[in-house]
Amino acid sequence: MEARKVLVVGSGIAGLSTALRLIRRGYEVEIVEKNSMAGGRMNLIEKDGFKFDTGPTFFSMSYEFAELADDIKKELPFELRELDPLYTVWYDEPGKRYTIYKDIEKLASEFNKVEPGFREKMEAYLKSTGRLYYDTESLIIKNNFDSLMDYASTVVRVPMVHLPKLFRTFWKEVSRYFDSDEVREIISLVSFFLGGTPFDTPSVFTMLSFTEFVHDGYYNVNGGMYKIIEGFVRMLESNGVKIHYNTEIIDIESNGSALQSLVDQNKKKWSSDIYVINSDAALFRGRILNRGKYSEEKLDRKRWTMAPFSIYLGINQKLPELKMHNYFLRGNFKEYSDKIYKNQASLEQAYYYVNVVSRLNVEAAPEGRESLYILCPVPDLRYKSDWSDKEKIADAIITDLSRRTGYNINDKIISKTIISPVEWRDKFNLPWGSGLGLGHNMMQMGYLRPSNKDEKFENMFYTGSSTLPGTGIPMAVISSKLVTERIQKKYGLVLTDLH
Ligand SMILES: Cc1cc2nc3c(=O)[nH]c(=O)nc-3n(C[C@H](O)[C@H](O)[C@H](O)COP(=O)(O)OP(=O)(O)OC[C@H]3O[C@@H](n4cnc5c(N)ncnc54)[C@H](O)[C@@H]3O)c2cc1C
C-alpha cells in the first residue's frame, strides 16, 4: 500500500467514523476542523451550569454503530440507551396526547378509539414497510454506484411489488392503511426527521416506520449524545490521529488530475496522499472547487431539507409532566406542512419538538432544575433570510409550551440560547442553514446524489449528509463505510489493531 496519508476535512460523525475505519486499515489520518470542538451538528453547549446536545437527540438503526465497532474490532466507547416509550405527541386540545410505543399492544391501546382495528392495520403496514426495507437495504442504501447504468441496473433489481411506492408520497402510502388523521399524522412524523414533510417525502421512506417500530426502535446514549463524539475522539487520539481545530479549508491546489493540497483560512497548505471531505459534498464542490454543476444557482434549484430553529433553556424547576421526547402539533397538519417549507405559515403558531435533556442525562442540569431543548423545523434562508425576529419567535414558542403543559416556563428560565438558521449555516457551512443537507426526493438519491468520489481528482472523496446514502446519524455511519470501501478498493489495506 503506497498512499498512506489521509486528510479528513471535518470532524462530524461521518468524518470521525471514516477516520476510525481508515486507521484500522493502516492509513495515517489527520483531521482539520473549522470549529474549536469536534462533532459538527452533533455538538454540545455547556452554559450556566447546564448541558445541551445541540443537534441530534436520538437515532434509529443502532446496529450501524455495532457494525462500525465490528469493523474496527473495538468496543463502542459509549453505552446505548433504548427509548421506551419512543415519544409523546401533544395535540392542541386539552388532554389529547398519545404516547408512542414500539410494543404494538401498548401502541394499539393508545389508538383503538380513533382507529378501530389499529393492530391489524399496523401489522399490515409494518409487513409492507419491512419487505421494502429488506429489499432495498443492501441494494440501494448500502451500495456505491459507479455510473448511471450501474444505478439503473441495481434499481431494476428491486422487486416490482414496490414500484407504485415510487409515485406516492409518504402521506398517501400511510393513508392506504389508516383512516384517522391522528394515526396518519403520527406515523408520518418520521418524514420530518428527514427534513421534509409527509406530503413531499417519497413513500419509499415508509421503510423508516419499520426501523422505528420493529427493527430497532430509537436510542440515546448514557450521558448524552455528545458521549459518542467524545468517545470517538478519544479513540482516534490514542491511535495517533491529530485533530487540528479552528482550521477552515477555503481553497485547493491541484495538478489537474490529482489534488495536491488544501489551503486553510491562514493560507497554510495541508498536503496528503488522499483527501476525504466531510464538509457538505455539494457546497464544497461549488464553493471551494468552483464546479459549474454545483454553482449557487444550480444548488438553489435543488431540494434542501428544512432549517433548524433551536432554543436551549435552563429551567429553575423540574417538569415531570413533559416526557423525554415530545412533539407539539396543532389541528392544521396538512395546511401547515404545505406552507412551512416556503415560509407561508406563521412561526408564532409553529409545530415543534421538545427534548428534556436532563431526563436521561441527569448531569445536564443542577439538582431540581431541567435542561430543555426545543427544535422547530423552519424555512431555509432562501425563503426566510432575516432572523432579527428570533427572540419574538422563541417567546411565542415558549409561551405556547407553557400554556399547553401548564408550567409557567417563562418565569423559570435561568439560561437561554437561541440558534437560528443563520448561525447554523455559518458555524457548520450548511447551505442556506439546511439542517440535514440535501433532501431525499427521487432525483437526489443513489447515483443522483453528489458522489462520494470526486469527478475530477482521483485522490479526493466525500462522506456525510449530502453524499451517499443520505442524512441522519445512521446514514452518516453508513456513508463512512461506503467511502472507506472506495478508498480500500483503490489504495488497499494493511489491517492494524487499534489501541
Ligand atoms: C438540529 C438538528 C437536529 C438533528 N436531529 C437528529 C436526530 O435526532 N437524529 C438523527 O439521526 N439525526 C439528526 N440530525 C441530523 C444529524 O445531525 C446529521 O445527519 C449528522 O450529524 C451529520 O453529520 P456529518 O458528519 O455528515 O456532518 P456535520 O456534523 O455537519 O460535520 C461536518 C463537519 O465539517 C466541518 N466543516 C465544514 N466545512 C469545513 C471546512 N471548509 N473546513 C474544515 N471543516 C469544515 C464542520 O464544522 C463540521 O464539524 C439533526 C440535525 C440537526 C441540525
Tell me: pLDDT of 3 over 80.
no
Tell me: pLDDT of 167 over 90.
no
Tell me: pLDDT of 498 over 70.
yes
243 lines ligand 1 (CB under 6 A): no
Helix (H, G, I), strand (E, B) or coil at 351: coil
100: cell is 408512542
**Structure confidence at residue 283 as a pLDDT band (50, 70, 90):** very high
Q: What is the dihedral sign for C-alpha 196, 58, 102, 88?
A: negative
Length of the chain: 499
Give the separation between CA 267 and CA 270, rounded to whole angstroms. 9
**Cβ-based neighbours of 45, under 8 Å, separated by 6 or more:** 51, 52, 54, 312, 417
Give the position, in ligand 1's atom list, of the atom nearest the Cα of 308: 1
Of 193 and 104, more confident:
104
Q: Residue 458: how many CA atoms within 13 Å on its side-chain side? A: 8
Query: What average pLDDT score do residues 126-139 get?
Result: 93
Q: Residue 137: how many CA atoms within 13 Å on its side-chain side? A: 15
**Structure confidence at residue 387 as a pLDDT band (50, 70, 90):** very high
Tell me: pLDDT of 441 over 90.
no
Give the separation between CA 206 and CA 440, rounded to whole angstroms. 13
pLDDT at 135: 93
Give exposure, 11-34, as e/b (b: 16+ Cβ within 10 Å). bbbbbbbbbbbbbbbebebbbbbb
CA of residue 41 to ligand 1 center, whole Å: 4
**Structure confidence at residue 451 as a pLDDT band (50, 70, 90):** very high
**Structure confidence at residue 1 as a pLDDT band (50, 70, 90):** low
**Cβ-based neighbours of 461, under 8 Å, separated by 6 or more:** 274, 275, 276, 277, 452, 453, 454, 483, 486, 487
| Sequence-ordered alpha helix ranges (H) in 73-136 | 104-111, 118-136
287 lines ligand 1 (CB under 6 A): no
CA of residue 427 to ligand 1 center, whole Å: 10
**Structure confidence at residue 193 as a pLDDT band (50, 70, 90):** confident
Q: Would you list the DSSP string of 16-74?
A: HHHHHHHHHTT-EEEEE-SSSSSBTTS-EEEETTEEEE-S---BS-THHHHHHHHHHTS
**Structure confidence at residue 229 as a pLDDT band (50, 70, 90):** very high
Helix (H, G, I), strand (E, B) or coil at 400: helix
Among 31, 32, 42, 44, say which to mutate for ligand 1: greatest number of ligand atoms within 8 Å of CB: 42
Tell me: pLDDT of 213 over 80.
yes
409: cell is 416556563
Helix (H, G, I), strand (E, B) or coil at 256: coil
| Percent of residues, the chain, with pLDDT higher than 70 | 99
Query: What average pLDDT score do residues 15-44 get?
Result: 98
Tens-digit pLDDT profile for residues 461-476: 999 999 999 999 999 9
Neighbours of 112 (CB within 10 A): 12
Q: What is the mean pLDDT of the chain?
A: 95
Tell me: pLDDT of 352 over 70.
yes
Tens-digit pLDDT profile for residues 240-271: 999 999 999 999 999 889 999 999 999 999 99
pTM of the predicted protein model? 0.97
> From atom 38 of ligand 1, which residue's Cα is the shortest distance away?
279
Query: What average pLDDT score do residues 291-309 get?
Result: 96
Greatest alpha-carbon span in the chain: 68
Of 70 and 191, more confident:
70
Query: What average pLDDT score do residues 468-488 get?
Result: 96
Give the separation between CA 372 and CA 417, rounded to whole angstroms. 11
Cβ distance 495 to 70 under 8 Å? no
Neighbours of 172 (CB within 10 A): 18
Query: What average pLDDT score do residues 441-458 get?
Result: 94
Give the separation between CA 470 and CA 449, rounded to whole angstroms. 8
CA of residue 148 to ligand 1 center, whole Å: 28
Amino acid identity for residue 264 in this structure: D
50: cell is 447546564
Q: Which residues does residue 370 pair with via DSSP β-bridges, in sequence order? A: 315
CA of residue 42 to ligand 1 center, whole Å: 6
Among 62, 277, 278, 357, say which to mutate for ligand 1: greatest number of ligand atoms within 8 Å of CB: 278
CA of residue 9 to ligand 1 center, whole Å: 13
57 lines ligand 1 (CB under 6 A): yes
Tell me: pLDDT of 325 over 80.
yes
